[in-house]
Amino acid sequence: MDRKQFLSRSLKASLGALVAGPALANMAAGTTTPEGEGAGGPPTAVPPAPALQLAQVPLPYAYDALEPAIDAATMEIHYTKHHAAYVKNVNEAIAAEGVVAKDEADLLARIGTFSAKVRNNAGGTWNHNFFWQVMSPAIGNSHPSKVTDAINASFGSFDKFKETFTDAAMKRFGSGWAWLVEQDGKLAIGSTPNQDNPLMDVSELKGTPLLALDVWEHAYYLKYQNKRNEYVANWWPVVNWAAVAERLR
């Protein structure tokens, strides 16, 4: 018995067990197949599944933990204002628009079928949750050999990888993200506009995200102003390579 059948039978059973008054008669009328719509077929109306709710992960470190690469003020505003707003807005949009998705991965994989508000804020929610987790304080961020080997195999050397990633981050015009992704066992670098990500059906860049860098001005402007290149250069020591390795198959 699938869930729909189960719910339908449970509903009929519980209604049958109760003494039918006017209120119950209305309830029953609203939850069964209208007359003439396929006699004997299953009821079409079942209680809706609870709406999907996205959550903001706890920041895995203090606001000042990534200094001097990322200053405490930027981190606090980024997490408590920008990221928190994406989470609030996506959940509002999911509820207001009656978005039905199995889970966050399913939502992202079909994001092109939803509104711009859902797309932008679901991306903003997922991307920042990911970003916080692939960074950590600069002390002890060594490269696991699994990561070094995969990077060498795909890009020739670690320096060449950094150069290519930096290029993607610098050439993303306006707001967006630079990504290292895995595509069928190979690593690739690219970028996405706005809050799109490689898990979205609408994204030109596809793959399993391994590492991301937020290149929206809100991510660096307080400390670096227009100097995105300095932000990118200073960011490497706070990459959490152990977290990248965990995501690498």
Q: What separation in angstroms does the CA of 80 have from each of 6, 22, 128?
A: 42, 50, 11
Instruction: Closer to Mn ion by CB, 151 or 219: give it.
Output: 219
We find the least distance from the C-beta atom of residue 82 to Mn ion, in angstroms, to be: 5
**Cβ-count burial of 105 within 10 angstroms (0-12 exposed, 13-18 middle, 19+ buried)?**
exposed
DSSP at 217:
G
First to last CA, the chain: 36
**CB nearer Mn ion, residue 147 or residue 168:** 168
Q: How far is the CB of 192 from Mn ion (least distance, A)?
A: 13
Number of helical (H) and strand (E) elements in the chain, helices listed first: 11, 3
Q: Name the token pair of 180.
A: 């290292």
Nearer to Mn ion, 200 or 219 (CB): 219
Cβ closer to Mn ion: 134 or 219? 219
- Residue number with CB closer to Mn ion (187 or 199): 199
In the complex, minimum distance from the CB of residue 219 to Mn ion, in angstroms, rounded to a whole number: 5
Strand order through the sheet with 186-193: 186-193, 176-183, 208-214
Q: Shortest approach of Mn ion to residue 175 CB, angstroms?
A: 8
Smallest CA-to-CA distance from 178 within 160, 154, 162 is with 162
CB 231 within 8 Å of CB 90: no
For Mn ion, the closer of residues 94 and 219 by Cβ is 219
Whole-angstrom distance, CA of residue 23 vs CA of residue 20: 8
DSSP category for residue 111: G
Closest CB to Mn ion among residues 161, 216: 216
State the residue number with the nearest CB to Mn ion.
214
Closest alpha carbon to 221 in 61, 127, 115, 82: 82
Contact residues for Mn ion, defined by CB under 5 A: 214, 216, 219
